Chain A
């Protein structure tokens, strides 16, 4: 199969960081067999994080037309091979440029499917977001709000409507991931922890980062506590909990639909 030749030369240079821009080669035309190979590779290499059919998992859904960090095919191939530094997306050194091209081609076919229908009224959802939901007390959206919870400015590109609903109804099951506290991600980004210091003081919060000797915990009031693990009397990690409350009973069914519609419309556009 033909692969973008400029891109190939770029990767063959080996030592070059994989983030640099390379021009797209529009002559690439994947065959049916390329697409089948791309699907097979995606399911074995990528679906653990991005979900079967790229519908999303701990990693974002990729079955959409516009991928924020990969606007072009070449950029998508670069992300697959080189990863996204500072995120849980690692580079796949074991894939060839052809294989990454096949995965990218397969993903682009998914993106051409019609967008999912979201019931609910986005404008009404905005009022819920700003009012009853009080979402901005933890989240940022388009630059507004507090900053420690996930940025929702482009959440409509990252999460499907089903995932948005899960996040609102059962936040502990929808843990976002983070490459911290190690290069060996993905780790839950908001792991709940309880620590008892040598003086008996209780510290509760979410893990921000951790190594063998230290842990930084964000308390409910937003304050950071930097802990020396060897001096603690007790340290407990509580997986599956989220600092976010469930909105299952706090909002009505139609309010939830509206809020989901509003969040699904957030596409990172100013």
Chain B
């Protein structure tokens, strides 16, 4: 009996998946099919690297628009499209979903979220950053904190479950992460004083499998880092998609800022696990290790950046790494098996820490907490990086990040908690204009030192993609989609999209032809080489 079952399983595993079906096996080996972009960051390691190499520094001069999708819903599009066997799944503002023919840009189906007129979006716009696809189902979060499963062929709803109560400020803006038989989804809301968590749902039924609270309750490990009842409103959102190592069975997820944001009078201590990276057993949601980047944060420096997984050598020993270019201005390299801190280096000019100690804990400069009169600190609350993605190229072995160089004056106010209202305790007044700027930086992934830097006119809001063709793609606030050399940072191509880019680039291929996609304003713009196919002659 057991042998028969095993044989059946073997056949099932060996049988090629139907077109359009994203099996767990395909997700685990996503970079072996470079024509597809199967998950938010391209693969579960979250490298945002495309092995496609048709477009190179030599021919990029003939990169041209192939098609443009205009969103039905106005509002800044922040989507990272997923492409499966010629079909593109993207989200518009408010989380509406469109499935497109990825060659022509024509709409196959569209799903309209039921956004309630009473929607609360405290601290961020009701944006959406993308879908997850597993087997033949598309998963998307909603701005009122529901998780919806759609049939990939028709957009019909398979299930629709509440994740949390939007009336308390909970919301979903991030893309889910799906693998195995699970859908992982994080939530926003720390600006409203929620208690954060990360959830896993049964991909078939929508039943909740586990919940990991990012703020421990009294008696749990870490609860001693909170004062009184402050854990109940301790924040710790999980609003950006993490990464997954199938071999270790560990899920890596960044945790956001504590509540209230700027006034920490009621929360003495480190405030675990805010502003931390947590590694969870994906099957059970239990905490394996954590690393806190910014203990007792009062500057809104969420660790909501993409944790990137890659392997390499550290001090002569082979290691499995997880790296994060953190909002607080430091690049961190950790051992992803144990959580051990290996290295940390500032990648912008920051003014709050002398450096990091041997355990990776920041050595604070005096007087860095917000005050009633205000105090100038770099980076500003949007950080040295933000939600947008970095890229790691296994080809060059470099870590690429779009860095923001901007300070601000941080203020502290009295604060009290009211359910469903802002819970800030202060604010900031940013130093913008010509005094602020940015850069695309290529970091040595071990030392964090910049190999090259390409200056940006203003602090960016767009992520990066590196490709096997030797190109890094990025975008600017002023609407420019551009390409740099992965090895020198030299600008090779640029295109004015006509609207701010606040999104991540990605790449895919159809019929042997490479495409690049970037959201700009409320459009998705797709590019390919002129002359190589049917679209342009």
Contacts and interface: CB of A to CB of B under 8 A. Distances in A.
A12 B432 contact: no
B480 A184 contact: no
B477 A184 contact: yes
Contact of A211 (B374, B409, B433, B476): B476
Interface in A183-237: 183-188, 191, 210-214, 230, 237
B446 interface: no
A96 B422 contact: yes
Contacts of A177: 433
Interface in B410-429: 411, 413, 421-422, 424, 427-429
Interface string A224-265: 000000100000010100000000000000000000000000
A12 B491 contact: no
A44 B413 CA distance: 10
Interface residues of B, number: 44
B458 interface: yes
Contacts of A83: none
B477 A182 contact: yes
A45 interface: yes
B57 to A, nearest CB: 15
A188 B433 CA distance: 8
Contacts of A211: 457, 476, 478-480, 496
Interface size class of A (residues with CB under 8 A): 20 to 34
B449 interface: no
B25 interface: no
A99 to B, nearest CB: 8
B115 A15 contact: yes
Contacts of B121: 14-15
B429 A48 contact: yes
A267 B34 CA distance: 62
A188 B434 contact: yes
Contact of A212 (B126, B143, B457): B457
A239 B119 contact: no
A94 interface: yes
A26 interface: no
A94 B143 contact: no
A189 to B, nearest CB: 11
B117 A212 contact: no
Contacts of B427: 44-45, 94-95
Interface of A: 12-15, 40, 44-45, 48, 93-96, 177, 181-188, 191, 210-214, 230, 237, 239
Interface of B: 75, 93-94, 115, 117-121, 123-124, 126, 143, 191, 374, 406, 409, 411, 413, 421-422, 424, 427-429, 432-434, 436, 455-459, 476-480, 482, 491, 494, 496, 500
7 contacts: A12-B120, A14-B126, A181-B457, A182-B477, A184-B433, A212-B478, A239-B434
